[in-house]
Copies of this chain bind each other. A is one copy, B any other.
Amino acid sequence: MSKILIVEDESDIAELISLHLSREGHEAICIGNGLQVMPAVLAQQPEIIVLDLMLPGLDGLQIFKRLRADTRTAPIPVIILTAKGQVTDKIAGLELGADDYLTKPFSPRELYLRISAVLRRVKKVTHVSEIQRGRFMLDRKNMKLFLDGTALDLTTIEFKLLTTLMENDTAVHSRADLLRDVWGYNSDVATRTLDTHIKRLREKLGAAGEHIVTIRGTGFQFQTELPASQPA
């Protein structure tokens, strides 16, 4: 369904990934030479890039910076691959804005899931500055929430959390997904922190807090329409 560019010099890994992705319905393009990345990206216009940092010759980090520096390639989401234990300090300096990253060894399944998550996130969000869901209307531009027409002030995290939940109102968001989407992949906040923010959100929403539903054992979900609850 989506065109994915894989930059990876170890051909067996590249093939494994490619195979797995095409089996899931994606179109995978592999290149092993770092120097070909920019031309390939411009020519192929992939929807997402999987970039191994450990490349012979050109440093993967340099490639990444170049991708971000060019207006044409900057918006393309990138998932970064690194060998385990490799250059943690580099990664630390990698606030650069990768959309996710994965340490080797990893299962192709895991990579596929990450790719799906990133694609879902990016596709839904781009070019929509307002989200309307029943009584809720999110105004990204002003970071405000309108509930039944009245404005509510949310903090940065609360807003991001609610936005993430509302973007896919049908979907159930796992705790891990929410932590990654709201706090970023490299953060390490406690799972209880998420609960606290969910609670604060519900508080601010008042009775409408019921639209945020707990899916026990999994995570949370935003429901536009409440099931008619029978009064006690």
Nearest CB of chain B from residue A198's CB, rounded to whole Å: 20
Contact stretch, chosen from A50-58, A122-130, A217-225: A122-130
Chain A 125-167 interface mask (CB, 8 Å, partner B; 1/0): 1111110100001011111101011110000100000000000
Q: In the bound complex, do residue A69 and residue B148 qualify as a contact, i.e. CB atoms below 8 Å apart?
A: yes
A71 adjacent to chain B (CB < 8 Å): yes
Given the contacts A125-B141, A140-B140, A151 and B97 also touching, CB distance less than 8 Å = yes
Q: Within the assembled complex, what's the spacing in Å between the Cα atoms of A132 and B69?
A: 10
> Do B150 and A74 touch across chains, with their CB atoms under 8 A apart?
no
Q: Complex Cα distance A143/B68, Å?
A: 16
Interface residues on A, range: 20 to 34
Give chain B residues whose Cβ lies under 8 Å from the Cβ of A127.
Answer: 127-129
Q: Which residues of B contact A71 (CB under 8 A)?
A: 132, 137
Q: Which residues of B sit under 8 angstroms from A132, Cβ to Cβ?
A: 71, 74
Residues of A in contact with B (beta carbons under 8 Å apart): 65-66, 68-69, 71, 74-75, 95-97, 125-130, 132, 137, 139-144, 146, 148-151, 156
